[in-house]
Amino acid sequence: MTRIPLLLAPFLLAGCGQAVAERAVPIPASRTDVPAAAGQQVAVLAGGCFWGMEAVFENLKGVRAVTAGYAGGTRATATYDAVSTERTRHAEAIRITYDPRVVSYATLLRVYFSVAHDPTQLNRQGPDTGPSYRSAIFPQSPQQRAVATAYIAQLNAARAYPARLVTTVEGGAFFPAEAYHQDFFRKNPSHPYIVRWDKPKVAAFRAGFPKLAV
């Protein structure tokens, strides 16, 4: 896991990388969805640094809570220091608690693929590299697994991106990250990483999905 050094922040702020989500990618909606059920549901998604992922979904109507953390992996626990070694196979991820009567699982996936990250990047997002930054979905039910798998195939068949999606559908537990990682975007709006990589992503979501934004 390689995080951008703060010493490089001025150079990155002056540049313009393709990984910055300046606009939502226009992709079709999923043809399938998880049937709406009573009560809140949970989705777990990984797509690079969890700071920006968390920020995007906190702006989505129907989302009740977003927790930054780690998913998958080969160990029964996860910490930032351990995951940073790239030896545990965990991915930085977010756990989304949502109301399916307001926002569906398929809609979460559409935002995820369109603007929350670049699903064609293998083991990296923006300046961050390593398997912990991979694009991965961790279904919480057989229905979620079926919808996620079908949507990946649909987007590849539609050639929605210039390259094939590398997103994997995996199993494994979710472990909440340390307290200082939670709500990092909201608590640190002037942080160089947030300004360079995550504010454009949130702006792209709000511009691309105005009816879904809170």
For the chain, what is the domain count?
Answer: 1
Residue 22: which pLDDT band, with cuts at 50, 70 and 90? confident
Span 57-80, average pLDDT? 97
Domain span at residue 143? 36-208
Token match 């997103």: residue? Answer: 167
CA distance 145 to 52: 24
Q: Structure pTM?
A: 0.91
The answer to whether residue 200 sits within a structural domain is yes
Residue 3: which pLDDT band, with cuts at 50, 70 and 90? low
DSSP class per residue in 75-120: SS---HHHHTTT-S-EEEEEEEEE-TTTS-HHHHHHHIIIIIS-TT
CA distance 11 to 24: 25
Q: What's the number of CA atoms in the CB half-sphere (13 Å) around residue 204?
A: 23
Summarised one tens digit per residue, pLDDT across range 154-185 is 999 999 999 999 999 999 999 999 999 999 99
Span 87-113, average pLDDT? 98
Say yes or no to pLDDT of 11 above 80: no
Span 112-127, average pLDDT? 97
Residue 51: which pLDDT band, with cuts at 50, 70 and 90? very high
Residue 5: which pLDDT band, with cuts at 50, 70 and 90? very low
CA distance 124 to 132: 8
Say yes or no to pLDDT of 116 above 80: yes
CATH of residue 203? 3.30.1060.10
Amino acid identity at 148: A
The answer to whether residue 192 sits within a structural domain is yes
Summarised one tens digit per residue, pLDDT across range 135-159 is 999 999 999 999 999 999 999 999 9
Say yes or no to pLDDT of 95 above 70: yes
CB atoms within 10 A of CB 46: 29
Say if CB 1 and CB 86 are below 8 A apart. Answer: yes
The answer to whether residue 30 sits within a structural domain is no
The answer to whether residue 214 sits within a structural domain is no
The answer to whether residue 127 sits within a structural domain is yes
Give the pLDDT score at 21.
60
Span 47-57, average pLDDT? 98
34 φψ region: left (φ > 0), alpha (ψ -120 to 50), beta (else)? beta
Give the pLDDT score at 16.
26
CA distance 171 to 141: 10
In the predicted model, what is the mean pLDDT of the chain? Answer: 92
The answer to whether residue 18 sits within a structural domain is no
The answer to whether residue 91 sits within a structural domain is yes
The answer to whether residue 8 sits within a structural domain is no
Residues labelled catalytic: 49
Residue 10: which pLDDT band, with cuts at 50, 70 and 90? very low
